Amino acid sequence: MNVRCGTAHLSSLRHFHLQGSMLTTDFTPIAALSGGTLIGLATVALMAFHGRIAGMTGILTGLLPPISADWGWRASFIGGAIAGPMLLTLAFGHDVTFASPIPDLWLVIGGLIVGVGVYFGSGCTSGHGVCGLARLSPRSIVATLIFMGTTAATVFVVRHLIGGL
């Protein structure tokens, strides 16, 4: 099994440990709550200033051909979302733990599946799971319940029935 792990600084392995083919991760409540708060603030700010749902699927789709006329703020938001973690690790020296236990072939297959799913489902974790639930949108409540369910089911099948990819 192809296990790749590392931090952006390659300096610390303290947050995860290899146990056979399973990767355990530490429960990080403070990081989770502070990161989640920032995600929420960005969501509110995009609505307050641009009147837009902070959904990664919708924002990205407008940047693919036929490119939408309002591509400026979209490209700018995406650029910022990529630059944010770069700033965090390179400028502020913050360690961001990262580990992807999935072989490349499955990343490609899974990526295609995610792309098709979020396009027809009109959204993903950010658009439905945060913005939509915050508005109590019935579509988003249904979508979130379904994708959380199929994700958990897939992880169960992959890890406990197949025994890993």
Partner 1 sequence: MLRIVTAAAIGITFGIGIAISGMANPAKVLNFFDIAGTWDASLGLVMASALAVAAIGYRFVLKRPRPVFETRFHLPANRALDVPLVAGSAIFGIGWGITGFCPGGAIPALGLGEPSAWIFVGAMLAGIAAARTVRFALQQRATQNT
Q: How many Cα atoms within 13 Å fall on the side-chain side of residue 44?
A: 7
- Footprint (CB under 8 A) of partner 1, residues 38-57: 38-57
User: Under rule CB under 8 A, how many of the chain's residues touch partner 1?
Assistant: 120
Selected binder of partner 1 within 11, 12, 84, 93 (CB under 8 A): 84
Among 13, 37, 67, 93, binds partner 1 (CB under 8 A): 37
Instruction: Choose which of 1, 68, 158, 163 interacts with partner 1 (CB under 8 A).
Output: 158
**One residue of 1, 13, 67, 155 binding partner 1 per CB under 8 A:** 155
| 8 A C-beta contact, residue 143 and residue 131 | no
Site for partner 1 contains 65 (CB under 8 A): yes
Residue 147: name the closest of 46, 57, 60 by CA.
57
If binding is defined by CB under 8 A, does position 93 make contact with partner 1?
no
What stretches of the chain show up as alpha helix (H) in DSSP? 29-50, 56-61, 71-86, 104-120, 133-134, 138-156
**132 neighbors 139 (Cβ within 8 angstroms):** yes
In whole angstroms, the minimum distance from the beta carbon of 105 to partner 1 comes to 10
